Amino acid sequence: MKSLRVLLQTTIPPTQDDWHIGRFSLLRETIAAIEGVKVSARDRAPSGTDDPVLSTLGNSEFDQLWLLGVDNGDGLTDADVAGIRAFAQRGGGIVATRDHENLGASLCRIGGVGAAHYFHDCQVDPDATRCAMDNAAAPVSWPNYLSGENGNFQRVRAVLADHPLLRRKDGSTIEWFPSHPHEGGIGVPPGADDASVVATGKSLATNRTFNLLVAFDPKSEHGRAIAESSFHHFADYNWDPRTGCPPFLTDPPGDEFERFPQRLEDVKSYVRNAVRWLARA
């Protein structure tokens, strides 16, 4: 049987004091441990140049793209965007994730699952009431939902409790995701009848509900896709703060990763579910 090939890709060149691909090593290990799955993990080529993998993704042997939007809007060239769109059109599965304000704003350009991402300066949330600070104490602007400290966990509220993405091995529903002080905004794009909100979180600052996961299941040749409100659901630092973070992240970490280590299994189960769900026959 042909191996399933997964690409973990950031939208920045290798940069030591940033969210380079090495800061997602635990995600890579979790996916690589799935039987029959091969993982490639990489940062993009230098900014302003076409990435040799993303720009040719439509003709590649990859089956899934996990795109970690860690740029400030300049993470993808026209050729990269065309490659990602061609990949989706020929049935490739995509996870696209970002963070607060404009972090990962290059996702606005890819269409499809990219249209589910709302930023401060591009593709603004159509709900004007959400274009305001949630975490008023954060050193960043909206969207910036406070789900908790890095190293702690937020409760997942299942909108579609029976969705395959949210099932534990024993059939119960996943309850916990890593938290973050300022998550981004996502939603079902206008007119996207193939997309659904799968899970939500709740702000610790305002008690406001915000979307954690939006899933696309098109009835066409396009592949399935998942929009995530924050790449911090996957970062090593959020699974174990002892692994370290870029120096610009100054929020003090929590300690629930040590006090409740069993909760981390929920996000690992979700990752395994996502790989399998995206790999539909």
DSSP 75-100: S--HHHHHHHHHHHHTT-EEEEE--S
Residue 281, pLDDT > 60, answer no
**Alpha carbon distance 221, 77 (integer Å):** 24
Determine the Cα–Cα distance for residues 32 and 60; give it in Å rounded to an integer. 19
Q: Which pLDDT tens digit goes with each residue over 127-164? A: 999 999 999 999 999 999 999 999 999 999 999 999 99
Phi and psi angles of residue 201, each rounded to the nearest 5 degrees, phi first: -120, 180
Domain ranges across the chain: 4-278
Question: What are φ and ψ of residue 112, in 5° steps?
Answer: 55, -120
pLDDT digits 0-9 by tens, 107-133: 999 999 999 999 999 999 999 999 999
Mean pLDDT of 170-190: 97
Cβ atoms of 273 and 44 within 8 Å: the answer is: no
What's the whole-number average pLDDT of the chain?
96
DSSP for 147-202, written as a single string: ---TTSEEE-EESSTT-GGGB-TTSPBP-EEE--SSB-EE-PPTT-TTEEEEEEEE
Helix and strand tally (H, E) in the chain? 5, 12
Query: Identity (one letter) of the amino acid at 222?
Result: H
pLDDT score of 221: 83
User: Which CATH architecture fits 4-278?
Assistant: 3-Layer(aba) Sandwich (3.40)
Q: pLDDT-derived band of residue 218, with 50, 70 and 90 as boundaries? A: very high
